Structure 1
Amino acid sequence: MKYLIRRVVLMIFCCLLLGQGIRAQPLPISTGPPEPTGIREGRFIGVVAGTAAFYIVTLLLLKKQWYKKKVPFHSFNDNGEWLQMDKVGHAATAYCMSRGGYELMRWSGVNERASILTGGLLALLFQTTLEVYDGHAEGWGFSKGDMVANVAGTALFMGQQYGAGQQVVNLKYGFRKTIFPPYRPNLLGKTTGQQMLKDYNGQQYWLSVNLASVLPVGPSFPRWLNLDVGYSGSGMIGGHENPRVLDASGNDVTFRRYRQFFISPDADLSRIGTFSPSLQRFIGTVQFFKLPAPSLELNSVNGLRFHPLILPKE
């Protein structure tokens, strides 16, 4: 349940807040009219109030629904679970929240450095609060691995924005339905919406690199073209190992757990067009989700496979 709530929060937060940085591009780009300089009081007050309300309401709901029974603070080691897919998810969540907070601050007129710092601190505040809650929760515990992943995701955003003035590398999310949830629906999800949040077999996390930002290309090279490297896992119906499950005929069903690696082209839509900075930030909200595209997959079971567009159900 903890992971379900976190994924729900991630999806809501990213859809509302996430945007693409558009400053200090290595090649010229046409933009619409610039935003006014200085803090825009109405926007700033709305952002501060909305962020505070989001933080307080979310934590109150979590405490009421999932952290009812409080136990002494303790830690546990879950680094071996789910082929580390949950750790990559933590990093992506922290990255998304850092970027969302930054874009809101910039939209409000806050200067660049203060916006970067605010976005990162907001992400770490939220994630750390959840980890402390876990540390007092029966059946869970404070996870050092989760915190390392949270810091890594935040550092990926802040380091790039401070150092390069843009996000050369992004973290993205993808999903495809799998055959595994029916064997453990309470754990992996009964509906497609639940499975998007709970089924690690169906999730992919992508490291998306903007080619025009890292290669010595000419002005005619498509600035929007990205190359993504993806990671996922398959065959998992339990955290550390798979429990015994039966098919409809009562026969044992076994699944081999293995890692999957992908490479695929992608597009950074916020680098296309002549939109205003505010509209570019809005367009950037979809950038957390990997666009369907041909891909190559490598894994230890099936070797090298080519997928024409969307990854197949398995």
Structure 2
Amino acid sequence: MKLRTRLVGLVGLTVILVSQPTRAQPMPPVANIAHPVGIQKGKFIGVVVGTATFYTITLLTLRKQWYKKRVRFHQFNDNAEWLQMDKIGHAATAYGLSRGSYELMRWSGVSERGSIVTGGLLALLFQTTLEVFDGYSEGWGFSKGDILANFTGVALFVGQQVGVGQQVFNLKYGFRKSIYPPYRPRVLGQSTGVQMLKDYNGQQYWFSLNLASVIPTGPQFPQWLNLSFGYSGAGMVGGMKNPTVVDQNGRAIQFERYRQFFLSPDVDFSRLEGLNPSTRRLIGTAQFFKVAAPSLEYNRIKGVRFHLFLLPKE
């Protein structure tokens, strides 16, 4: 009964928000950011140097930590692994890199078209380099599925920016620690930082839609309000299937794998009123992370659940 009451309350809130006076509005404020005229030399040099430094340090670090054992170049079909969480992660990362690079280029005075092209190409360069590393690494392999996911993420950004001049849909990332890494720490990570990259049980990926961009709204409707659709998985201690693991008492455990689907309100911080153009750009590069908010979850094991803010550790 309590769950039903929460469901009714959330649905009622959605109806109230959507039923604001329906008068067509201009595009949200983010579409009207003032742009510098011509390339700003100092900013542009800073962006180029910063991007090159980030690219170099990140790849050298990954190569040292993850790609120690090199083998002959080979391919690997991992499309069925981790309930496809890895593929969605590739798309989200490519999207985030595209948008971040675009925003920085626009901030430095590069033209709209030039920034879109540069953002997409930089994202593909970074992601493709990692795929080549995978192809020469023991335990991984060059994945066509990863390449397709990378292109999908870039296409989501470029298509929106070219087609409507703004990001109506955003791909975002969320994380909470799960119970599974202690059972396979070498696979899922020992530290929180590594788990954020490797423990797919703790990750969520969110498709965040800006409501004011797709429905007629009244003048008082918050332009920053988004509705997010999330996806995750749980019970995964192996890629394709779970090996049997043991608990602290030596008893065998076989976890059941299942998908999780979420619905949650979200905030597009770059659409908040009163921000100057530089702040909007900076926020646009950084809002890859989903903020904690009330959410509904559905999965086939536990049915429908309501979470107040943070998702439970499971």
- The bucket for the TM-score relative to the shorter chain is 0.7 to 0.9
CA distance in 2, matches of 1:31, 1:170: 14
Identity %: 69
**C-alpha displacement of 1:193:** 2.6
Q: What SS does structure 1 have at the residue aligned with 2:287?
A: helix
Give 1:171's aligned residue.
171
Scaled by the length of structure 2, what TM-score is found? 0.87
Partner of 2:258: 258
Which deviates more, 35-44 or 276-285? Answer: 276-285
* Partners of 1:31 and 1:276 within 8 A in 2: no
Whether contact under 8 Å (2:30, 2:166) holds in the other structure is no
Q: Is the 8 A contact 1:98 1:120 kept in 2?
A: yes
Alpha-carbon separation, structure 2, partners of 1:28 and 1:89: 28
CA distance in 2, matches of 1:113, 1:234: 41
Hey, which bits of structure 1, 4+ residues long, moved more than 4 A? 30-33
The residue type equivalent to 1:185 in the other structure is P
Could you tell me which residue of structure 2 aligns to residue 51 of structure 1?
A: 51
Q: Deviation at 1:66?
A: 3.8
Shift of 1:95: 0.4
Aligned mates of 2:28, 2:197 — CA distance in 1: 39
Closer, same or farther: CA 194–307 of 1 in aligned 2, 3 Å = same
Separation in 1, partners of 2:68, 2:33:
51
In 2, the alpha carbon distance for the partners of 1:302 and 1:31 equals: 41
Q: CA deviation at 1:195?
A: 2.1
Tell me the C-alpha RMSD between the 2 structures.
Answer: 2.0
- Distance in 1 of aligned mates of 2:258 and 2:282: 37
CA contact (8 A) 1:30 1:274 kept: no
1:213-245 deviation line (CA, Å, top 9, x unaligned): 000112221101100000000000111111111
Q: 2:86 matched to which residue of 1?
A: 86
Q: What is the aligned partner in structure 2 of residue 282 from structure 1?
A: 282
Alpha-carbon distance in 1 for matches of 2:297, 2:261 = 6
Aligned to 1:246: 246
Residue 110 (1) aligns with residue 110 (2):
yes
Give the secondary structure class of the aligned counterpart of 1:288: coil
One-letter code aligned to 1:118 = T
Corresponding letter in the other structure for 2:227: L
> Which digits, 9 at most, give the CA deviation of each residue in 1:29-66, with x for residues without a partner?
49999453111011111212222233233334444444
Q: Determine the structure 2 residue equivalent to 1:313.
A: 313
Aligned partners of 2:100 and 2:286 also within 8 Å: no
Taking the aligned partners of 2:60 and 2:309, their CA distance within structure 1 comes to 41
Amino acid at match of 1:191: S
C-alpha distance in structure 2 between counterparts of 1:239 and 1:164, whole Å: 38
- Residues in 2 aligned to 1:76 and 1:98: alpha-carbon distance in whole angstroms: 26
**8 Å contact from structure 2 (residues 182, 190) kept in 1:** yes
1:225 aligns with 2:225: yes
> 1:142 offset after TM fit, Å?
0.7
Aligned residues: 290
Matched-pair contact (CA < 8 Å) for 1:31–1:275: no
Distance 1:146 1:52, change over 3 A: same
Match of 1:279, as an amino acid?
Answer: T
1:251 maps to a residue whose letter is R
Instruction: List alignment gaps of at least 5 residues for structure 1.
Output: 1-24
Larger deviation, residues 163-172 vs 26-35: 26-35
Q: 1:170 and 1:198 mapped to 2: Cα distance?
A: 22
Question: Does 1:153 find its partner at 2:153?
Answer: yes
Task: Check 1:273–1:79 CA distance in 2 against 1; reply closer, same or farther (3 A cut).
Answer: same
Over residues 125-148 of structure 1, what are the superposed CA-to-partner deviations in whole Å (9 max), with x where a residue is unaligned? 111111112112222211000000
Judging changes above 3 Å, is the alpha-carbon distance between structure 1 residues 302 and 118 closer, same or farther for their aligned structure 2 residues? same
Distance across 2 between alignment mates of 1:65 and 1:251: 32
Judge which range, 70-79 or 252-261, deviates more: 70-79
- Structure 2 gaps of 5+ residues are 1-24
Greater relative contact order, per chain length (Cα 8 Å cut-off, separation 6+): 1
Which residue identity lines up with residue 98 of structure 1 in the other structure?
S
Is 1:67 the counterpart of 2:67? The answer is yes
Deviation at 1:203, TM superposition (A): 0.6
Please give the TM-score of this superposition, normalised by the length of structure 1: 0.87
Q: 1:194 to 1:129 in 2, by over 3 A?
A: closer
Residues 57-87 of structure 1: CA distance to partner in whole angstroms, max 9, x if unpaired? 3334444444344333211101111101011
For residue 290 of structure 2, give the secondary structure of its aligned residue in structure 1: coil
